[in-house]
Amino acid sequence: MESGHSGEASAVRGLELLWGLGERPNRGRRPALTLDQIVRTAIGIADVTGLAAVSMRRVAERLGCTTMSLYRYVPGKAELLDLMTDAVMGEVPPADAAPGDWRTRLELSARADWGLYQRHPWILRLPAGRPALGPHGFAWYESVLRVLTATGLPPAALVHVFDLVDAYVRGAARDALDAAAVERHSGLTDEQWWAARAHFWDAVFVPARYPVVASLAPRVPCVTPATVASSSASGSCWTASRRSSGTSPMAVTKHQGVTKSPVRSAATPSPAPLPLAAHVPTAPTPVANVPTAPAGPALRRKPGAESPARGSKAGPVISITESSAFPSPSPRLRSSP
């Protein structure tokens, strides 16, 4: 995982670049490059070959200039990563500009988040707790908090809800990308992997030792959220089966009180993330007249926000429920080192 700035001077210069501050007036010849050119070139490299391939030398080669000449514009890779992150954040429309109540807007925002990770998976390799602190990221963060104020929750609880949904979408996106990578490297689909281990259920698995798991067969996943188990002809052997194409890899379905997720495919583009099925613990203040429309997610941790203390009592529960159909996700971005 990429780290952040190495010192205060580096951080200050990075913030100046993000916000367009401290720029010196241009004198003499017109610069051969622009900061936007450099940032967009770096994003293109990361999108195709991954974050590890991004370097000042590689960017310079793409732009047809020397590595040293880039340092006139960007002090180093840490600042470049911040600029890349905030630039991609600019793709995302404000969460409060979407139609509907707070639940609908939150879900649309989460889907936009998911879409962002599909287009720019390298973002998931950056530390979530060290955001870029750029104008695009803050504009989006503000818009999500405005949406959450409609819940009537106190400020601290708004941040906790934001963190919960953001971590859910981020983790689900990372799992989907990792599963696709494993399939590419191994040459085996999830179904093939589970089929090769079908013997486990007949010869190794002992129902009496794991009665709850046994009672859920054949309608629960085989240990992993990436698979869906179905019974064999004998009813004793569970085999993985892929859902029909077009189903979200994270679409959460409920079967006899059990949550299960279908298999992900590396060959099929990942659709928007799941309708969320989670319970969000809130602050001890009761919430009245909370809208009951479909839920949704999308967010990021507020810089410097404190996590709830261990052992603290949870207040009323807001159930973020499953929703029906949603428009195609739009882009959104995230933190940086």
Range 22-46 average pLDDT: 83
Q: Residue 118: which domain range?
A: 91-178+285-320
Residues 15 and 163 both lie in one domain: no
**pLDDT computed for residue 10 by the predictor:** 83
CA-closest candidate to residue 87, choices 128, 132, 129: 132
Residues 100 and 72 both lie in one domain: no
Does 129 score more than 80 pLDDT? yes
The answer to whether residue 189 is domain-embedded is no
Domain containing 101 — which CATH number? 1.10.357.10
User: Which range is most confident: 45-49, 275-279, 310-314?
Assistant: 45-49
**pLDDT computed for residue 27 by the predictor:** 59
The answer to whether residue 261 is domain-embedded is no
**pLDDT computed for residue 77 by the predictor:** 94
Does 69 score more than 60 pLDDT? yes
Does 97 score more than 70 pLDDT? yes
According to DSSP, the β-strands at 278-281 and 317-320 are antiparallel
The answer to whether residue 269 is domain-embedded is no
Mean of all residue pLDDT scores within the chain: 73
Does 247 score more than 80 pLDDT? no
Residues 47 and 168 both lie in one domain: no
Strand ranges in 33-94 using DSSP code E only, listed in sequence order: none
pLDDT band at 254 (very low <50, low <70, confident <90, very high): very low
The answer to whether residue 235 is domain-embedded is no
**pLDDT computed for residue 293 by the predictor:** 38
Under 8 Å between Cβ of 335 and 1: no
- The residues, ordered by sequence, that sit 6+ positions from 272 with a Cβ below 8 Å of its Cβ are 111, 114, 115, 248, 326, 328, 329
**pLDDT computed for residue 92 by the predictor:** 87
Range 127-154 average pLDDT: 94
Query: Helices (DSSP H) in 90-230: which residue ranges?
Result: 102-119, 135-148, 155-186, 190-195, 199, 211-216
DSSP state of 121: G
| 35/240: higher pLDDT | 35
d(CA 161, CA 220): 28
**pLDDT computed for residue 218 by the predictor:** 59
| 217/219: higher pLDDT | 217
pTM of the model: 0.64
Does 188 score more than 80 pLDDT? yes
Does 314 score more than 80 pLDDT? no
pLDDT band at 256 (very low <50, low <70, confident <90, very high): very low
Residues 305 and 172 both lie in one domain: yes
Domain containing 66 — which CATH number? 1.10.10.60
The answer to whether residue 72 is domain-embedded is yes
- The residues, ordered by sequence, that sit 6+ positions from 335 with a Cβ below 8 Å of its Cβ are 85, 123, 126, 127, 128, 129, 130, 131, 132, 137, 300, 301
How many C-beta neighbours within 10 Å does residue 305 have?
Answer: 14
| 293/23: higher pLDDT | 23
pLDDT band at 8 (very low <50, low <70, confident <90, very high): confident
Q: Which of 41, 65, 88 marks a domain boundary? A: 88
In sign, the C-alpha dihedral spanning 305, 294, 324, 278 is positive
Does 121 score more than 70 pLDDT? yes
